[in-house]
Structure 1
Amino acid sequence: MRHTWRWFGPVDKASVHDAAQAGAHGIVSALHHVPTGDVWPAAEIEKRQQEVRAGGLEWEVVESVPVSESVKTQTGPWREHIANWQETLRRLSAAGIRTVCYNFMPVLDWTRTDLRWTARHGAKAMRFDRIDFAAFDIHLLERPGALEDYDAETRAKAERRFGEMTEERRVALSRNVGAGLPGSADGYSLPQLRDHLKTYAGIDREKLRRHLVDFLTEVTPVAERVGINICAHPDDPPWALLGLPRILSTAEDYAFMLREVDSPANGVTFCTGSLGARAQNDLPAMVRQFAPRIHFVHLRNVRREEDRTPCSFYEDEHLEGDTDMVAVIAELLEEEKRRRAAGRADHQIPMRPDHGQEILDDLARGAQPGYPAIGRLKGLAELRGIERALSHAVMTIPSSRS
């Protein structure tokens, strides 16, 4: 696999030099300062490339070109935003970039109730607490219809939890849930979040699915022509939130998307952390099912704290948690072998160690939540070790032991 590292630009507390020292082959980045829906200026693309090259690496993957809420709801300037998305693909291709990740989650990107929860050994990790989230939805956001979305036991626990919260915890919970895209300056206050939720009135799961297909029908032919693979990131967490539909949470969801827009350029960002929060998702089987269309991989692990969906979970160490990371990597390496045999130019799949626990000096660095330097270095080293072991010639030699 091609080992990459997410970098948020010059504001990132971990530099490109740090990524190179950690063993990354290339950089994953985006122009977070460009307003969602606008065309990415060619000069800004070139500037980011030069910033990355100054650290000794190349900008290889874009994560993400955001899809506007107008496109998701098909309201306002949504057609203009699609045209701008297409033009951004053309400009990225002209700059030599061949992989573009995006997501189609309504209103909220990844959602956590804790951004720096204390895990074992004092490490800090991101966490989703199901009861805290229900308390936020019912008692802080006061979303109309929220009570009907939870069972009686959850409602009772959420009421008790809310009553026990300090004002400081309530403010922190609102801030954590309302956080925007990683690396962006976006974020929602409670009134702003309520207003955004209203824009999805009348948009159910099937309608949002059709809007995704409409978007892909427009942008995929452009991606094909300019030689870019676009890849959809799964919902995080992979279930409905705040009354909003989620449409990329299961194998069936991805099968629908790939079937409706059946092009090699239309593919998957396979995120083991997002998909792994749903116990019903068999990740090695999903890699086998979608292998030819997996264009980008996020490797991280989560520990589910309950045997249910939705559940509470936290982000565990990369080789711990509930996902069999060895089995997932083995399937990805098999796909790379098939691609090499078929002569595919994209036989090497870009992967990055996604998120990570804050350990050692990370604890005082104040990095973007989920993106510590040392925690990701540790994760990349572990993942690289698994890959190297599975790829070693000794693995294909029959044992002489009786």
Structure 2
Amino acid sequence: MDSLITAAAQALAVGDALGALKRVALRDDAPALALRGIAMAQLGDLVRAKALLKSAARAFGPREAVARARCVVAEAEIALVSRDLTWPPKALEAARKVLEAHGDRVNAAHARNVELRRLVLIGRLDEAERALETLDPTPLPPAARAAHELVVAGIAIRRLQTKAARAALDRARQAAREAGMPVLTAEVENAAGVLSAPVARLISRWRESPLLLEEVEELLGSGALVVDACRHVVRDDQLSVSLATRPVLFALARALAEAWPGDMARGTLVARAFRGKHADESHRARLRVEIGRLRAELRALAEVSATKRGFALSPRRAGETAVLAPLVEGQHGAVLAFLADGEAWSSSALAIALGASPRTVQRALDSLAGEGKVQSFGRGRARRWMSPPLPGFPTILLLPGPLPSD
């Protein structure tokens, strides 16, 4: 490794992307291309970074499998940051195996972290936790430990385990300080902000209030009967009934829970469940049928009884009833929730994360764009969507340890 490559690698190791570029900006050999690609990624020019890393991977010779594998790992992280979830995960897995086979455990661990971050992003938490058990962060350098702890915190946050999330973020914060990379510290603080910002709304006795993540955890463990509009389930501390595939039944359950301890009029229930403006006899007949189905679904959790003007919900074990609602609701609330992270998403990536068809997601984006709630840039496959009020926060590429030129 020559002196300029060494100096550029050392600059990247401490997050000095501009210092690295000053040393290799005019060079086109494979190691310089790889370092330039990582530097451009750290500066936020992901398109240029991806092109440089592809060029570097092609430029490395057939005996430089480790160097090519490291380029693949960096390219995979660019795909993750730019929300290109169609990037083939098998390529990253193959690169990780090459790194492990050649004893590069630091970059192999980083490749595993990228895999885990993708799994967490698309909601495959069980798979992410199983993979996490195979990775010991203790011998890793500080930057890699910080990345590992961010994954641990991400899973804990989605599992509503706030104590575990805080502990992981504290460890990530300490590791980021040891790494001496301010932008990594900023990323940890950005992740920690989730714990101090409202994540849902509580609706109870006709009153509404925002909830922090810790308060959501307390609510779900309080023994109350909770109609969870974030996951479309009805639960108490002993049992959970999913109504995710029964939207009419869930709408009725939510309406009755919002009216608790009182009842809700039949006309209001018709409007909430069937979107009908007037409750004629056909609507009343359908309401009776759907209420019967709701009674059957919730029989172990609550009783649904008829009153003079409508129906009322009475929990069997719980002393309280509440509705847990997302901060953003509406026809396309789930799409807005993903775009709220400030990153630029492709429609195909949103479809993967939401488990919906690309066409459905595209219609939702077009509708939201017409309302001024989202905006797009680029064309064709390069088109990306963002939520206008939130600026982008480019995640730094970590790629720790030895660089592609040694």
Q: TM-score, normalised by structure 1?
A: 0.30
Bigger Rg, which one: 2
Structure having the larger proportion of residues in helix: 2
